[in-house]
Amino acid sequence: MGETSVSRVYKGWYGQYYSRLWPWSTEYQQWTWLEWEELGNGENLYWALMHVIGEQTEFGPDAPVNNYRLKGQGSLMDIELD
């Protein structure tokens, strides 16, 4: 993270994660799937997050939209998949 000429980000979740066994998926897994799908479609991280947030139907304290954390430097608009 010491290189300041590029944008970088680490993504994580706040609090504990409780997984379910296949074939069920959690809201967190669905969030991540949508986020990566948008990144794979050529969107940058900013617009991928905006899309995923727009798809949320649950906004309680345990919802992914209220528990994701980003830590890094630079602009989310610079972070894309190559």
Are residues 13 and 67 in contact, defined by beta-carbon separation less than 8 angstroms? Answer: yes
pTM over 0.85: no
As given in the structure block, the two tokens for residue 54 are 């727009």
Looking at residue 59, its pLDDT comes to 87
The helix (run of H) or strand (run of E) holding residue 12 is: strand 8-13
| Ordered per-residue pLDDT tens for the chain, 82 residues | 455 667 888 888 886 666 666 666 778 888 899 999 999 999 999 999 999 999 988 888 888 899 999 998 889 999 898 7
The helix (run of H) or strand (run of E) holding residue 27 is: helix 27-40
Query: Rounded to an integer, what distance in angstroms lies between the CA atom of residue 41 and that of residue 11?
Result: 19
Which tens digits make up the pLDDT trace of 20-31? 666 667 788 888
Domain ranges of the chain: 29-82
